[in-house]
Amino acid sequence: ALSQAMKAARCPTDELSITNCAVVHESDLKSIHVAVITGPGQRYVFTLKSHHSVVPGTIAFSLPQRKWAGLSLGQDVQVEPFEFDKTKNSIGTMTIEVDFLQKKTADSNPYDSDKMATDFVGQFISQSFSVGQQLVFSFAGKLFGLIVKGIEAVDPNILKGDATSGKQNKILTGVSYQNTQVIFEKAENSNLNLTGKSKTKQGRQSIINPDWNFEKMGIGGLDREFSDIFRRAFASRVFPPDIVEQMELSHVKCVPVEGKPPTFKSVMLNELGSTMQFRYPHHGVERGREAVGDREWPSRQPPPTPPSRHRRCDQCGVNSGLHIIIFDEIDAICKQRGSMAGSTGVHDTVVNQLLSKIDGVEQLNNILVIGMTNRPDLIDEALLRPGRLEVKMEIGLPDNKGRIQILNIHTARMRDNGLLASDVDVNELAVETKNFSGAELEGLVRAAQSTAMNRHIKATTKVEVDMEKAERLQVTREDFLGALDSDIKPAFGTNTEDYQSYIMNGIVNWGEPVHRVLEDGDLLVQQAKMSERTPLVSVLLAGTA
C-alpha cells in the first residue's frame, strides 16, 4: 500500500465530529479505511470520509480522536489504505464505556441501553473500531463520550453457516456490521442511569460487610429487631439492580424505630455503620436551630460536610453507595399539626416540608431515612402512611437469650484477661435480670466492676490502691449480686420498694377465696416467668367494694 504524508487538522464541522470518521479532501485518499502512523509502532485505524471544506493534504480529526491517537494540530503523519479481513475482523460483540460528554449536561433520566445499542449500530455501521478508541455518540438529544473497552470477533463458523465453536476471539481492531452486538457499561463515578439489557451487570459494592457480627459491634439482644429491619429495609438492596428492576420493586424509603428508653435504639443504628457499608449517616435533628425561625432549616438545606474521618461521597445516582439519613428523636420536629397551642405554626411548616421531601425522594437503591422516637403517638399521622414512614420497628426489652448475649459482650474483655471469677454464671445473671434493658445490663457490669475495685482501695489519711491485691483483682458473683441488690434497678416492671410496702405485714389468708387466689396467682407467675409461649399473662381481679 502507498503511504502518503499528511498533516493533522481540526474537524471542520460539528456534524463531522460525531461521525467517528477521519475526514480528508475529496481529491485525496479514496480508501474506506486508513491506518494513521504517528510514530514507530504507533498505528491507528480510522474509517475515512471526504469533505470539500478540508484543506488538501490534511486529514481532520475530532478532539476525542486526537486524544486517542495522541495527535496535535499540524502534526505530520503517514496515512495508508487499510483493508479488513472480514472473516477474522468482523465485530461480533463490543463493550463500550459510556458517560455524558460534558458534566454540566448530566441528568438522572433513565436511558434505554437497548435503544442506544440499536442507534449506535445504525450510526456507525461498517466502521472501524479499536480497543481504547474514543468517540462521541449522539443519542436522545444528548452527546455521550464513549471508550471502546473490548472487542470480540464473530465466530468464523457462523460466517460459513456452520455451528458455532463457542470460543471467544478477542481482537484489538475490527469492523462493525448490522448484527454487531453492543454492550454499554457506565463509566466509573458517573451518574448516568442505564436501563435495559444491553448493559453490563454492574460490579456492585455489597452494602453488608462480610465479617460483621453483633458481638464485634457491641450489640446484643437485638437479633429479631435487626432481622426485621434488614428484611424490610435492606433485603431488596442486596439483590442485583437488574432483578429489582424486572420485579418493579420499590425500595422501602423510610423506617421509624420506636421504643422506650433505654433500649439501645441509638446504639443499634449508630453501630449499623460497622455492618452496612453506607455513607456518613446524617442526623437530622442535630442540625436544628434553637431559634424558632431556623426550625425549617434542617429539612431544606443539604447535609453538612461529613467529618474528615468519613469518606466523602464521590458518586451519584442509583449506583452510588447507600446513604442513610437518621432523625434521632423525630417526634421533636414532627409533632401532630395543629397540636401546638399558641405556636407560630412553625412546627406545621416543618412537617409539611419534610413530607414534600420524603415524597420527592426517588425510589433509589442508595437512600434510606430512619426516624427514631420513644413517643410515636406524637408523630403526625401523615408521616406514618405507606410510602413514608411505613415500616414500623419497635425495639423492646431483650429476652433471656438476648440478656445472655449482652452480658457476654460486656464481660468478654474481663473473661479474656482472667479478671472474671469462675463463680460468675452469665445464665444465672440473665435469669435474675428480667425486665433489664441493654443499657441497664451494661450498668450492672460497671457496678460489679466498681465493687470489685473498691475492695482493693485503702482509705486512710489518703486514698491509695493496694497494688499487691490489685494484680489479683477478680469480679465475682457476689459483686454482681450486690450490684443487683443496691445499685441497678430496672426502669420497667414492679417497683420493689413500693411492692414491699404493700405487704409489709404479710398477706392475711382469711379463707378459701384468698388461698385460691394466691395459689392460682403463683401458677400464673410461674407461667409468665418460665414459658416461652406465654411471656405475658393478664389477670383481672374483680370483687365488690
At 80 the pLDDT is 93
Q: What are phi and psi of 269, to 5 degrees?
A: -75, -35
User: Residue 94 gets which letter from DSSP?
Assistant: E
Q: How many CB atoms lie within 10 A of CB 335?
A: 19
C-alpha cell at 498: 413500693
φ, ψ at 273 (rounded to 5°): -60, -25
- Residue 409: CB partners within 8 Å, gap ≥ 6? 214, 215, 218, 219, 220
Q: Is 184 helix (H, G, I), strand (E, B) or coil?
A: strand
CA distance 299 to 357: 8
Give pLDDT tens digits for 84-103.
Answer: 988 889 998 999 999 999 98
pLDDT grade for 260, boundaries at 50, 70 and 90: low
pLDDT confidence tier of residue 48, bands split at 50, 70 and 90: very high
**Least confident span in 9-18, 47-56, 326-335, 475-484:** 326-335
Which tops the pLDDT comparison, 206 or 531? 531
Dihedral sign from CA coordinates of 56, 62, 65, 66: positive
Query: Looking at the domain 91-195, which fold is it?
Result: Vcp-like ATPase; Chain A, domain 2 (3.10.330)
User: How many CB atoms are closer than 10 A to CB 293?
Assistant: 9
Secondary structure of residue 128 in the 3-state scheme: strand
CA 113/CA 182 separation, integer angstroms? 9
501-510: pLDDT as tens digits: 777 777 787 8
Q: Calculate Rg over the CA atoms of the chain.
A: 36
Residue with cell 456534524: 15
**The pTM is what?**
0.48
Instruction: Supply 416's cell numbers.
Output: 479474656
Numbers of helices and strands, H then E, in the chain = 19, 21
Read off the pLDDT of each residue in 216-231 and give the average, rounded to a whole number: 63
Specify the range with the lowest mean pLDDT, choosing from 67-76, 80-89, 276-285, 485-494.
276-285
Work out the widest C-alpha separation in the chain, in whole angstroms: 124
Report the C-alpha gap between 285 and 268 in whole angstroms: 18
Q: Where are the domains of the chain?
A: 4-81, 91-195, 214-285+321-338+345-395, 400-501
Q: How far apart are CA 72 and CA 150, in angstroms?
A: 26
Measuring CA to CA, how many Å separate 215 from each of 211, 221, 222, 278, 409? 11, 10, 11, 20, 6
Separation CA 67–CA 84 (nearest Å): 24
Q: What share of the chain is helix, strand, coil (3-state, %, to 5)?
A: 35, 20, 45
Q: What residue spans of 53-175 are helical by DSSP H?
A: 63-69, 86-89, 113-123, 156-159
Q: Rounded CA gap, 490 and 438, in Å?
A: 10
**Under 8 Å between Cβ of 210 and 277:** no
pLDDT band at 493 (very low <50, low <70, confident <90, very high): low
425-464 in b/e burial notation, b at 16+ Cβ within 10 A?
ebeebbeebbebbbebbbbbbebbbebbeeebeeeeeeee
Eight-state DSSP code of residue 183: E
| Three-class secondary structure of residue 361 per DSSP | coil
User: CA separation (Å) from 206 to 210, 211, 275?
Assistant: 9, 12, 11
Q: How many CA atoms lie within 13 Å of 245's alpha carbon, on the beta-carbon side?
A: 13
Which of 282-296, 432-446, 477-491 is predicted least confidently? Answer: 282-296
Residue 426 near residue 408 (C-beta atoms within 8 A): yes
Which band of pLDDT confidence, cut at 50, 70 and 90, is reported for residue 459? low
The lowest-confidence range among 199-208, 275-284, 533-542 is 275-284
Is the pLDDT reported for residue 304 higher than 60? no
287 — pLDDT class (breaks 50, 70, 90): very low
Q: At what angle do helices 438-454 and 477-486 cross, to 10 degrees?
A: 120
What pairing do the DSSP bridges indicate for beta strands 367-373 and 323-327?
Answer: parallel
Average per-residue pLDDT for the chain = 77
**Confidence band, pLDDT 50/70/90 cuts, at residue 295:** very low
pLDDT at residue 17 is higher than 70: yes
Task: Considering the domain delimited by 4-81, tell me its CATH architecture.
Answer: Beta Barrel (2.40)
Residue 45, classed as helix, strand or coil, is strand
**H-type helices in 70-207, by residue range?**
86-89, 113-123, 156-159
- How far CA 265 is from CA of 269, 298, 353, 388, 424, in Å, comes to 6, 22, 26, 20, 29
pLDDT tens digits for range 170-188: 999 999 988 899 999 998 8
* CA distance linking residue 97 with residue 148, whole number of Å: 6
Mean pLDDT value of segment 520-541: 80
pLDDT at position 146 over 70:
yes
Output the CATH code of domain 214-285+321-338+345-395: 3.40.50.300
Q: How many residues does the chain have?
A: 545
Residue 296's pLDDT is what?
45
Q: What percent of the chain has pLDDT over 70?
A: 67
**Burial bucket for residue 307 (CB in 10 Å: 0-12, 13-18, 19+):** exposed
Average pLDDT score over residue span 190-204: 73
Q: 239 with 354: CB under 8 angstroms?
A: no
Separation of alpha carbons 16 and 34, rounded Å: 17
Give the highest mean pLDDT range of 102-116, 256-270, 362-376.
102-116
Q: Which CATH architecture has domain 400-501?
A: Orthogonal Bundle (1.10)
In the predicted structure, residue 454 carries a pLDDT above the cut 70: yes
How many degrees, rounded to 5, is the angle at CA 342 between CA 339 and CA 345?
A: 65
Tens of pLDDT, residues 322-331: 677 777 777 7
